[in-house]
Amino acid sequence: MILHLDMDAFFAQVEQMDRPELRGRPVIIGGLGARGVVSTASYEARAFGVHSAMPMTTARRLCPRGVFLPGSYGRYGELSRRIMDCLGDFSPLVEPASIDEAYVDATGLERLFGPLPEMIAAVKARVAEVTGGLTCSVGAAPVKFLAKICSEVNKPDGVFILMPEDVDAFLCALAVDKIPGVGDRMGESLRGYGIDTIAQARRYPQSFYATRWGKWGLAFYERLYGRGSDAVTPEHVMKSESRECTFDADTLDRAQLVRALMSHAERVGASLRRQGVRGRVVTLKVKYADFRLVTRSLTMDVATDVTQTIFEKGCELLDRLAPAFPVRLIGLGVSGIGQRAVQMLLPGTEGRDGRDPAREEKRRRLDGALDALRGKFGREVVQRGLLFRPGKRKAVPGEDGRRDVDSEREGERRAAPFGE
């Protein structure tokens, strides 16, 4: 049996826990600018129709008395790590799916923790203990995608166990858009064929889905009959790390673009260091006011996790691009992680990318000191001069309107390489 643990309105619940005056009030987390989107909403806000990925302007119209917050992502990350660590006390096979959800292989653990309902109760109690009282919902099923569906059945703070003998009846009554991976477009297309439920979808042969949706159509057909992966994989190979933001107003102001790049470099560099990895390829992403999207990349001789180096390479790419039209969105990423080893440079020498090993090491020590301070006192305790804005909590214009797609579902899941 596979468990899928899903925190309840995670970001909003954390804010309500940390600030008791917000309990019982509609709390909405996301970008606060004109182009911001909702990351997550408390259940009080959901009663007004607010949901993740909704434009913030719509959320304000639906819930004018809501409490709108930019989010404390460092705090969310800290609690997420506690949750994942405590799940490891129950099973060696824990697969984080995002910042607020994970799969746990519970097969054969009855001898250690008792029957499945007792184990799930123990898991929920342990999560509440390590987080200071946060609730989660848990689904259990023979395969992963069914466990994910089951975790939604009795939200919030609920449990739903689907035994193997009940899978067929459970699926037949289910709407097709409940299957993970079925988006609005596919759902609309299926309804065009008169398919609303899985029972109706089973009337069509495998070839019907393969012809229209290719490999995903074949996977979708398998899921119609409850067939899917039951492999819980504890480790994932990290391919890239990136951040991006959408500005409140389109801009050609290079200073504003550079400040955004520094903010992104800080987040990307910190994430790389936290995970103990480095990358060789830096990629700049720019979306213009007319929604044209361009990317530019460069490859360094030696992999890095240094904030200043990532920032400088991002600025170099920006200068090469020399945007001639107003910019709507700018992003910065690092990839080439886990590639084959490269020759390290000797002290006093510079690579083709112009980096001096001694200077790089000084920068790495500075990053380590900043990481330690922020880990102890919070992200705002110290800022680089380029980002400092007296009296402002947010350092980068446009960051309040970021569309990092840091939704409750996506959270701070590692972004895919640009262009994928």
Instruction: List the CATH number of the domain containing 48.
Output: 3.30.70.270
Active site residue 101: yes
User: Which residues form the domain of 99?
Assistant: 1-161
- How much is the CA Rg of the chain, to the nearest whole Å? 23
Residue 24 has pLDDT above 80, yes or no: yes
For residues 6 and 88, state if they share a domain: yes
According to DSSP, the β-strands at 159-161 and 136-141 are parallel
For residues 30 and 151, state if they share a domain: yes
For residues 343 and 304, state if they share a domain: yes
Q: For residue range 383-399, what is the model confidence (pLDDT) as tens digits?
A: 787 776 655 544 343 33
| 352 token code pair | 């083709």
- pLDDT value for 345: 52
Whether 175 contacts 153, CB under 8 Å:
no
For residues 123 and 180, state if they share a domain: no
Whether 327 contacts 289, CB under 8 Å:
yes
Residue 199 inside a domain? The answer is yes
Q: For residue range 263-300, what is the model confidence (pLDDT) as tens digits?
A: 999 999 988 998 888 999 999 999 999 999 999 999 99
For residues 12 and 105, state if they share a domain: yes
CA nearest 135: which of 2, 3, 10?
Answer: 10
Counted domains in the chain: 3
* Residue 297, domain CATH: 3.30.1490.100
* The model's pTM: 0.72
Of 160 and 346, the structure prediction assigns the larger pLDDT to 160
Portion of the chain with pLDDT greater than 90, in percent? 65
CA nearest 84: which of 68, 101, 67, 69?
Answer: 101
* Residue 190, domain CATH: 1.10.150.20
| Bridge partners for 7 per DSSP | 136
For residues 148 and 172, state if they share a domain: no
Instruction: Please report the beta strands in 238-362, taking only residues with DSSP state E, as ranges in sequence order.
Output: 240-251, 279-288, 293-304, 327-335
Residue 233 inside a domain? The answer is no
Whether 402 contacts 245, CB under 8 Å:
yes
For residues 249 and 218, state if they share a domain: no
Residue 408 inside a domain? The answer is no
Residue 313 inside a domain? The answer is yes
CA 111: distance to chain centroid?
35
Of 337 and 196, the structure prediction assigns the larger pLDDT to 196
Q: For residue range 130-143, what is the model confidence (pLDDT) as tens digits?
A: 999 999 999 999 99
How many CB atoms lie under 10 A from the CB of residue 72?
17
Q: For residue range 52-79, what is the model confidence (pLDDT) as tens digits?
A: 989 999 999 999 999 999 888 888 988 9
- pLDDT value for 400: 37
**Sign of the dihedral through C-alpha 274, 275, 280, 284:** negative
| Residue 345 burial by Cβ neighbours in a 10 Å radius (0-12, 13-18, 19+) | middle
Residue 382 inside a domain? The answer is yes
For residues 204 and 104, state if they share a domain: no
Residue 411 inside a domain? The answer is no
CA nearest 220: which of 257, 177, 191?
Answer: 177
- pLDDT value for 200: 96
Catalytic residue of the set 15, 44, 95, 101: 101
For residues 276 and 362, state if they share a domain: yes
Q: For residue range 312-357, what is the model confidence (pLDDT) as tens digits?
A: 999 999 999 999 999 999 999 999 986 444 445 555 555 555 567 8
Verify cis geometry, omega within 30 degrees of 0, for the bond prior to 205.
no
CA nearest 329: which of 407, 403, 411?
Answer: 403
Q: What mean pLDDT is reported for the chain?
A: 86
How many CB atoms lie under 10 A from the CB of residue 325?
12
For residues 263 and 210, state if they share a domain: no
- pLDDT value for 411: 34
| 124 token code pair | 């929920």
Residue 407 inside a domain? The answer is no
Residue 420 inside a domain? The answer is no
- pLDDT value for 377: 74
CA nearest 145: which of 95, 89, 184?
Answer: 95
- pLDDT value for 393: 47
Q: List, as one string, the DSSP characters of 76-139.
A: HHHHHHHHHHHHTTT-S-EEEEETTEEEEE-TTTHHHH-SHHHHHHHHHHHHHHHHTS--EEEE
For residues 145 and 248, state if they share a domain: no
Q: For residue range 366-380, what is the model confidence (pLDDT) as tens digits?
A: 888 888 887 777 666
For residues 54 and 80, state if they share a domain: yes
